Chain A
């Protein structure tokens, strides 16, 4: 065993752009590779939007903040939003098509470029199933003859895998947290071996009680989290929180006009904000964002 020389590490560690300079600035470049980033929010806040956009942006050349890579997308709830992906990919294509083709051109003719070709979608229905297909994922990462190597794994959402099967008994909770650590351990191993960026999304549960956090345990930079005027906290509890490297929170507020100056706040739009809850490389920061037809964008003010 020999130690790794930190000077040979890519510096700063490679990140995958979110496709918006304002959001990237908030996260110091984007989603880091060799790390698990969790985005949690209530439904309809834009988690999936952000993940879809990220999967497209991973294809961008490194010079534009991407990874020149394809993405592996696991969806666990509902059906995969193909229509929305197509919509986003059209906008993406009109913006970046040339850049991606230029980058890829040296190896082959890449004339009929379709960004959707580089996003591999798989549905997963239970935590055990996810664990079972881990060896398949590994062999896919090793053997895939894809034009771009896979450098991004998205699991949207990890909470759905765990929410139905487990009771609130201590033996079930123990079994559940064992699975958390197994899944996270395997994902981190893959992330390290292939220098992947791993993004998982998580749901929220309503916060019941008083004080800080569940059972008085506060996690991260914010003492209390609010979304749609309700106090919330991320699902899956403390054990899962120990399994991710960074945690981001997407808050949503219906009354977008409350404290905004007149005219500056887009009328009728929900106010959304991305918060860094914890991350080993980032201080607390937050950023307002909007979801448009063309994608998710940060708002500078």
Chain B
């Protein structure tokens, strides 16, 4: 764009033609924002544009159709989603599943992106990720066979090795490392533009150790949350924060809630709570600006997160 005026002057074009050419870029930028919008301040959007954008938002499937349904298709990009639940409910499993699913290529309806997995607890197991990756590849070739009736073309598409290679895995052992890494994310993702999901498993662990000064903890955490929101917006990727639960002692009774306190709960756009209901695992949308609160069963199978087994039976009987 800098060179355009020079270019036209060299060609000795008339002023009106030069003016016309200068209008081109502004018209293009207006086109970017959708038809009929008038962008007054750079970066400002009106609600109509945002609605347009929201409907075109890309989502990462959870591999559980019921859960995808209530989420409107999966975990949304450009937003921060918090997933909390008791130990053993499947938070890490959900994290691994998303790190694999973000890589589903576009010809299979995915994003074809890469994942950043920040492990603060040491629960990420490579053997499990490989299991989930292999199942995902099987499902993809099944899907493409169904879609294209073309076996040969997709046999070589992807390997579980590639999937593991496309997960940028960081293991952090202290809260200082965690803060440093989150500050560094911006730079890292600038160099790796194809990252489409950042998973932090868990956001909580190191912040429950050393913080005697709770006010300081709150400030540090909200600073971190702001940075993560910014990363999500700038690079249009999904940020998924896994959180632990604690019991709160209020008025003589114990109540279950997500860790890190009340002020933290403002830090995420969406919140999903995982819980047991009888012998079934359920996910519940606790907070979302655009989704109805609803719950759906899911199960953790050897292949990863899937629809609940009992639901599957019900579907089969019909």
A residues adjacent to B (C-beta < 8 A): 1, 3-7, 9, 11-13, 28, 32, 34-36, 170, 173, 177-178, 181-182, 185, 188-189, 191-193, 212, 215-221, 223, 237-239, 241-242, 244-245, 247, 277-278, 280-281, 283
Contact = CB atoms under 8 A, between A and B. Distances in A.
B279 A280 contact: no
Interface residues of B, number: 50
A181 to B, nearest CB: 4
B122 A238 contact: no
Interface of B: 86-88, 92-93, 116, 121-130, 161, 164-165, 167-171, 173-174, 180-181, 184, 188, 204-206, 208-210, 212, 244-247, 249, 254, 256, 276, 278-279, 300-302
Name the residue among B93, B123, B279 with the largest chain A CB count within 10 angstroms.
B123
Given A6-B164, A6-B167, A178 B208 contact: yes
Given A6-B165, A182-B209, A238-B247, A188 B121 contact: yes
A12 B126 contact: yes
A34 B124 CA distance: 10
A245 B170 contact: no
A13 B86 contact: no
Given A193-B173, A241-B87, 15 more contacts: A1-B170, A7-B165, A9-B126, A11-B127, A13-B126, A35-B122, A178-B209, A185-B206, A189-B174, A212-B276, A215-B254, A219-B88, A239-B246, A280-B124, A281-B125
A251 B220 CA distance: 43
A280 B128 contact: yes
A189 B173 contact: yes
Nearest to B164: A6
Given A212-B276, A238-B245, A177 B208 contact: yes
A173, A188, A277 pick with most chain B CB within 10 angstroms:
A188
Contact of A242 (B87, B126, B173): B87
Contacts of B86: 217-219, 238, 241
- Complex A-B, nearest 6 residue pairs according to Cβ-Cβ distance, in ascending order: A278-B88, A3-B168, A281-B125, A12-B127, A220-B88, A181-B209
B87 A278 contact: yes
B205 A280 contact: no
Contacts of B129: 6
Nearest to A277: B88
A38 to B, nearest CB: 10
A26 to B, nearest CB: 15
Nearest to B91: A280
* Chain A interface SS verdict (over half): mixed
B181 to A, nearest CB: 6
Nearest to A191: B122
| B86, B88, B184, B188: residue with the most chain A Cβ atoms closer than 10 Å | B88
Contacts of A1: 170, 180-181, 184, 188
B249 A170 contact: yes
B125 A13 contact: yes
Nearest to B172: A1
A5 B209 CA distance: 28
A3 B170 contact: yes
A173 B254 CA distance: 13
Contacts of A247: 87-88
B205 to A, nearest CB: 7
Given A181-B209, A280-B123, A192 B171 contact: yes
A11 B165 CA distance: 14
A177 B173 CA distance: 18
B208 to A, nearest CB: 4
25 contacts: A3-B169, A4-B171, A6-B129, A13-B125, A35-B122, A35-B125, A36-B122, A170-B249, A181-B205, A181-B209, A182-B209, A185-B206, A189-B173, A192-B171, A217-B86, A220-B88, A223-B276, A223-B278, A241-B86, A242-B205, A242-B244, A245-B123, A277-B88, A278-B88, A281-B127
A191 B210 CA distance: 19
A130 to B, nearest CB: 14
Contact of A245 (B116, B121, B169, B173): B121
A189 B128 CA distance: 21
Nearest to A173: B249
Nearest to A9: B126
A23 B65 CA distance: 36
Contacts of A177: 208, 246
A11 B116 CA distance: 20
Nearest to A238: B247
B130 A11 contact: yes
A288 B169 CA distance: 37
Contact of B164 (A7, A192, A220, A237): A7
Contacts of B184: 1
Nearest to B165: A7
A11 B126 CA distance: 7
Nearest to B122: A188
Nearest to A175: B212
Given A13-B126, A185-B205, A280-B124, A238 B246 contact: yes
A236 to B, nearest CB: 12
A191 B171 CA distance: 12
Contacts of B210: 182
Nearest to A183: B209
A6 B126 contact: yes
B128 A218 contact: no
A3 B116 contact: yes
A218 B88 CA distance: 9
Contact of B279 (A5, A13, A223, A238): A223
Given A7-B164, A215-B247, A185 B180 contact: no
